[in-house]
Structure 1
Amino acid sequence: MTWHLLGAGNIGTLVASYLIQAQQPLRLAGRGGPPVLRTLIWPQGAQRTLTLPGDDDAPISQLLITTKAQDTAAALRPLLPRLTDTVLLVRLQNGLGSLDGLPLPDGSRIIEGITTSGAWRDGPRIQVVAENDTLLGDADASPEPPAAIAALLPHWPGARWCTDIRRQQWLKLSVNAVINPITALNDCPNGALCDDPARQQQARALAEEADALLRRLDPDWPGDTYGRALAVAQATAANMSSMRADLRAGQRTEIAFINGWLLRQADRLGMSLPSHRLMVAALPA
């Protein structure tokens, strides 16, 4: 069956190349007109030009969602009438909660994805920085992937099915909730979080609040967000966080689906996360 791709950005185009290698039919969801040409360039110098066909207005049974979380609702709403009753939705995005509140079919199956692969774009050319681990799984901790995912995994470098995807999402989100808003508000690279006492104090407050909440949601939560955040900041010292990049470009950020997601969980539990609330108030969502 045909895959529809919602969001042909850097990661979306990279995954599209895996679908094409797997000989899976592919269409750009919600994007009509002539095919889109994109060239991927790998670090070793290999290049591949992809032809991504426009939308066909057909029913959607398999949808790969790689838009930014804050753009998901607006992009997906026009497609809702086309979703089949048993549509497979694969969400490969930063943050959590981008599908909350959308009237998805009752038989929908949502596959969550986390990737540490990276790419940057220069017009129609996309430079692949790294093809790292990608985890795919569902909230039911299913032991085996659906057939459509199983057929794709051999063609997706570093991808594997994960039975504890929720824990992995929380681990990533808690680090992002520390690094992203601090680097965005201070307009600094990730490594600058490690060498300034004031930023370290901000980081510790955000981490401790996140750990307090996540421990309420999961008694086995490790509670080590501050250390993990510093380690990631050091390992990616020269990198620009996605939230900083969005702010520099004058765009909305993913704050509502990172720190904002934590706040929504805290509100349900009657908890206060003042440091995260300050960050959400300070950054455009």
Structure 2
Amino acid sequence: MPNTLPHWFLLGAGNMGTLAAWYLTRSGHGVTVIRHASPAPLEKTLWLPDGRQQALSLPVLDPAALPDHIDNLLVAVKTPYTRQAMAAVTDHLDAGSRVLRFQNGIGALDGLLPTGCQLIEAVTTSAVKGQHPDHTVVAENATWLGGSTTPPAWFVSLTEYWPDLHWEDDIRPRQWHKLVANAVINPLTALHDVPNGQISDNPILREQATQLCEEADQVLQQLDPAWPGHSLDNVLTVARATAGNTSSMRADRQRGAQTEIDAINGWLVKQADRLGLAVPANRKMVSALTLL
């Protein structure tokens, strides 16, 4: 019986891209990394939460060798590099293509996809750290995919291999909850070079977190009056649950990399500007981390 599961082309084989590729290949999906490199496979090592070591070998394809049409694209590149990465594949996408966006923040693919292209958004609470070729899966928590009215035919079988995977017809509330948590924990821990738990434990950081949450809730309630607000409680819960963790933005700053601030707090600022709302705390975070 022929394999009818999708074959994915992957942009961004970092921590989260590697995790997604691991789950997809376990379930029988094919994954090929798009990369300007030698054609040798990308050899990875994953360390799972239970201590098991898993090897992952992913074929590599130069952008110049891509097929005329890409059926399935997985975008897991860091958001600041999205436009540059997508430039290599845009001409290979059309209304029959499916794109799975596995990135932090919101809006990184705005204006970059052809009309009619199916976009599936992903929101995950899993955590991975490390640098190629070694990736340590800190936690396998819930992940949600969504963005269309019904899940693809292959989704049910994928849930057998992707822990705590769910489908949401309306994924926006999940995105917004994750966005607010990221808009507080990421920039504050990056600027002050502290682990996540300090957001709850340090009175000064907690006050800043309160201001960031209040502004975010104001924006989101203008976008959708059904937004419940009171985001601080959820943010502090996340900070305590990941107290010893280093946020991705803090890790980016520690190694001198560009952060994802524009797709997180920057997205909130753009919405606030459009709505005529003042969000000085979020604007301060964008300015501070853009200049670094």
1:111 and 1:162 mapped to 2: Cα distance? 10
Once the 2 structures are TM-superposed, how far is the Cα of residue 5 of structure 1 from its aligned partner?
0.9
Alignment partner of 1:86 out of 69, 92, 96: 96
- Asked if the contact 2:143–2:164 (Cα under 8 Å) also holds between the matched residues in 1, the reply is yes
1:108 and 1:135 mapped to 2: Cα distance? 20
Give a deviation string over 1:12-59, Cα, whole Å, max 9, x none. 112212222222222112344211111222232322212110115112
Unaligned runs of 5+ in 1: none
Matched, 1:108 2:108: no
Alignment partner of 2:8 out of 3, 9, 21: 3
Matched, 1:147 2:150: no
- Asked if the contact 1:179–1:193 (Cα under 8 Å) also holds between the matched residues in 2, the reply is yes
2:75 and 2:191 mapped to 1: Cα distance? 28
Give a deviation string over 1:199-239, Cα, whole Å, max 9, x none. 22211111111111111111111111112112211121111
1:199 and 1:262 mapped to 2: Cα distance? 20
Q: Normalising by structure 1, what TM-score?
A: 0.93
1:183 and 1:275 mapped to 2: Cα distance? 15
1:135-284 correspondence runs (5 A) = 135-138=144-147, 140=148, 142=149, 144-284=150-290
2:258 and 2:290 mapped to 1: Cα distance? 5
Q: RMSD of the TM alignment (CA)?
A: 1.6
The one-letter code sitting in structure 2 at the alignment partner of 1:270 is G
1:39 corresponds in structure 2 to 45
2:60 and 2:132 mapped to 1: Cα distance? 18
Give a deviation string over 1:44-80, Cα, whole Å, max 9, x none. 2322212110115112110111111111111111111
Q: In 2 relative to 1, CA 30–265 (structure 1 residues): closer, same or farther, beyond 3 Å? A: same
Q: Normalising by structure 2, what TM-score?
A: 0.91
Q: Which moved more, 1:258-267 or 1:225-234?
A: 225-234
Residue identity over aligned pairs, in percent, reads 47
1:77 corresponds in structure 2 to 87
- Asked if the contact 1:30–1:79 (Cα under 8 Å) also holds between the matched residues in 2, the reply is no
Unaligned runs of 5+ in 2: 1-5
Divergent runs of 4+, >4 A? none
Once the 2 structures are TM-superposed, how far is the Cα of residue 150 of structure 1 from its aligned partner?
4.2
Matched, 1:64 2:70: no
Once the 2 structures are TM-superposed, how far is the Cα of residue 184 of structure 1 from its aligned partner?
1.1
